[in-house]
Amino acid sequence: MSDKKEKAELSKQKGNEAFKKGDYANAVGFYTAAMMENPSDVTYPLNRAAAYLKLGKHLDAERDCTTALKIDPKSAKALFRRAQARVELDRLGDAAADLREARQLAPSDQSILKLQAQVADSLELKKQEKLNHLAQVKSGKYIEPDGQPPKRRRVPIKIVEAPEDGEGSTVKGKEVKVRGGEEDGEGGSGLKAVSTRSLNGGSTAKPESDQAKEKEKDKPKSFKEAKEARDTARPSRVGGGIFTRTGASKVFPTREATPPAKSPTPSSSGVDSSVTKEEKPPSPAPPSTAQDTSQNESEPPTTPSESAAKPIPKLTKPPSTLLDLLKLWSSHSTPEARWSILRTLPPHTLPSLLQTSLEPPFLASLLSTFNDILATGDLETQIAVKEYMEVLPLCKRFEMVVMFLSRGEKEVGREVWRRLGVEVRREPEAGGGGAAGWEGLLK
């Protein structure tokens, strides 16, 4: 006997002991464990069906008996217990069918004969009750279950005729007079005269023409009057929204496209481009370069003093999650510090670490870091950067993320490959070496 069958038999024995003690809930649990270990044994679903019957869960018992019949279609016990469940569910016709089949398999079983007789009596009684009900309904002698005949409501209705011209009025409190005389009196109409309340009594409603004139009178005649009326009714709140008057966002920082350069050069105005928003508010971008700027969510601008103040981190172990990596990445802004963080992660682990969470700002910062590091890096650094660049296209959603890079950021990616001695084609072709995953994307 295999280990699974031994475990199933042990669970069955525990279930039998619980069943004998009346602990049917635990018995169901043990029989379930036995079924999981050996689902091909018909005994376990039959035993669980018996426990379900004791708990009053007749639908579950019926289902287990059906499962047992799939294993052994000639199981009289499964048919008998399913008939018991169906009797409790008031499905006497299905129960009778099961009992007829069970009696053919076990003709001398007294339990089957006894239950079959009970079901036959119940079916006959239901049939007779139905016939009696139909007869009473047809004869009009049907009596409700509480012993009282059905009640019929008689609601008195008072009918008021509209007055003819000159005979009563419905305006300004005048009564409505009903023709036909008194009740059962002259005229024989059988109607009783009723006075109604005034429809417009005490009403001060103005005609629609007057209301239209008042609306036309209150309507502002100029734009200035309309603005004053609107400001009086609903004062405006200055400073609402997330944008300033210059057009800059107060919530989302702006990611400037960094042009590829072999050595850092100051801007034409002589001002460092890394000045924070507090020192120099961003000016609106010209229309020709509007598409070259995009949103940066992971790289807040830092001043040169802040960059120099943070030393290169010495990590004892690599970041275990993407959240840890992003925290370290955003806390250091120099290319050397970020390169030392990235070097703690082997290149082949990036796809599993990023999963579907690679975002355009993080990819742009990776490319910028690679570009800056290659400017002063040795041969070993070039080999390492190439390994990271080759593994990035294996990340999920990579092609879609590259689509959201700005033109300047894509140019940084092409510059990284140029420093590695590879020219990335703008149109994908077969082969292409390590840069094949980038071809056709950095357009």
pLDDT in tens, the chain (443 residues): 578 889 999 999 999 999 999 999 999 999 999 999 999 999 999 999 999 999 999 999 999 999 999 999 999 999 999 999 999 999 999 999 999 999 999 998 899 999 999 999 998 888 888 888 777 777 766 665 655 655 666 777 877 776 555 444 444 444 444 444 444 444 455 555 555 555 555 445 556 667 677 777 777 778 778 877 777 776 555 555 555 556 565 555 555 444 554 444 444 444 444 433 444 444 444 444 334 434 444 444 444 444 444 566 666 678 888 888 888 888 888 988 888 888 888 888 888 888 888 888 988 898 899 889 888 888 888 888 888 888 888 888 888 888 888 888 888 888 888 888 877 666 555 444 456 667 666 66
Question: Tokens 């579907």 — which residue?
Answer: 356
Tokens of 438: 């980038």
Residues forming a β-bridge with 254: 295
CA distance 165 to 101: 84
pLDDT for 282 equals 46
Residue type, position 436, single letter: A
pLDDT for 170 equals 47
* Residue 106: how many other CB atoms lie within 10 Å: 17
Q: Tell me phi and psi for residue 437, to 5 degrees.
A: -70, -15
Quote the crossing angle between the two packed helices 43-55 and 3-20, to the nearest 10°: 30
Tokens of 138: 């047809």
CA distance 89 to 111: 19
pLDDT for 425 equals 65
CA distance 313 to 339: 10
Question: Tokens 């053919």 — which residue?
Answer: 104
Sequence-distant (≥ 6) Cβ neighbours of residue 87 within 8 angstroms: 95, 115, 118, 119, 122
- Name the H helices within 318-359: 322-331, 335-342, 350-354
pLDDT for 275 equals 38
Residue type, position 98, single letter: D
Report CA-CA distances (Å) from 164 to 161, 184, 186: 9, 22, 19
pLDDT for 426 equals 62
Tokens of 33: 């464990």
pLDDT for 55 equals 93
* Residue 108: how many other CB atoms lie within 10 Å: 7
pLDDT for 435 equals 61
